[in-house]
Amino acid sequence: MSDRSERGIRAAQLGILVNAVLALVKLLAGVVGNSYALVADAVESSTDIFSSLVVMSGLRIARRDPTDEYPFGFGRAETLATGVVALMLVGAAVGIAIEAVREILTPHHPPAPWTLAVLATVVIVKWMISRRVQAVGVDIGSRAVAADAWHHLSDAVTSAAAFIGISIALWGGVGWEPADDWAALVASGVIAYNGLAMLYPALRDLMDAAPGSEVVDQIRQVAQQIPGVLAIEKLLVRRSGMVYHVAIHVQAANHAGPEQVPIVQTILGDDIVVERL
């Protein structure tokens, strides 16, 4: 757990560094180049910084050892971090949408052509960071890190939408100036959707919803293969951060003592924590 948490923290730190640089570049380019889509992109990068900080804090708390007060550990801190990041995505989407509508209704000059080069660079960088962080999230089984990766990807989406919008504005000429604002509005919808899509599984975990049948069935099959186990009467599984907590009740042969029917950790490696037998 400690090693996996450390990998997640390093991924978050990388995101903070990249986003700090990109936010400054996009803000300056948006103001000088007269593009609200770029300014909206800068706001998105700023929220990415805070989301990465939240993920780091959640992972650091989640890796603490259980205590008498918290006997099941602190894994839910990682789940809470996922929910906070998802809500930040939704909040950023709402803010971008409001400002985009305001810009659409306000006459302004078209964006500068050179802003396209800035946006193209941002799309490439953010897409690469998103893939890297997503790979770490999947490898360590962290939804918070995966949510952070989606936050990076949403930044790439807004940048791509801004690129398209500015291209249309420059190509269309007079009357097409708000095209990049419309692009920001469309991108806000994509960001909001991704945020809500991440919030749902986080809420399920907080409510102790059972994981998918692929997890439960795998635990059941391995438990049934333990010598001395005759049947599985109850099997309750819930996710807490990067681990699954299992409550299992088995029927054992008369000659089999507790030491002969262990529910081994090899069910899913370090991802399984057996609560009681």
* Last residue within a domain, chosen from 144, 172, 206: 206
pLDDT band at 268 (very low <50, low <70, confident <90, very high): very low
Domains: count for the chain: 2
The β-bridge partners of 251 are 231
156, 267: one domain: no
* Last residue within a domain, chosen from 161, 181, 206: 206
65, 175: one domain: yes
pLDDT (tens digit per residue) in 62-94: 878 888 888 778 888 888 888 888 888 888 888
Exposure string over 66-81, b if 16+ CB within 10 A, otherwise e = eeeeeeebbbbbbbbb
Domain harbouring 30, CATH code? 1.20.1510.10
pLDDT (tens digit per residue) in 117-152: 888 888 898 889 888 888 888 887 777 788 778 778
81, 119: one domain: yes
Domain harbouring 229, CATH code? 3.30.70.1350
pLDDT band at 270 (very low <50, low <70, confident <90, very high): very low
238, 159: one domain: no
The model carries a pTM of: 0.69
223, 183: one domain: no
46, 174: one domain: yes
235, 187: one domain: no
Distances (CA, A) of 139 to 8, 17, 136, 257, 272: 10, 22, 5, 37, 16
pLDDT (tens digit per residue) in 157-191: 878 877 888 888 788 777 777 777 788 788 788 88
- Cα 161 versus chain centre, distance: 21
Which residues form the domain of 220?
A: 213-276
pLDDT (tens digit per residue) in 183-240: 878 878 888 888 888 888 888 888 878 887 778 888 888 888 888 788 888 888 888 7
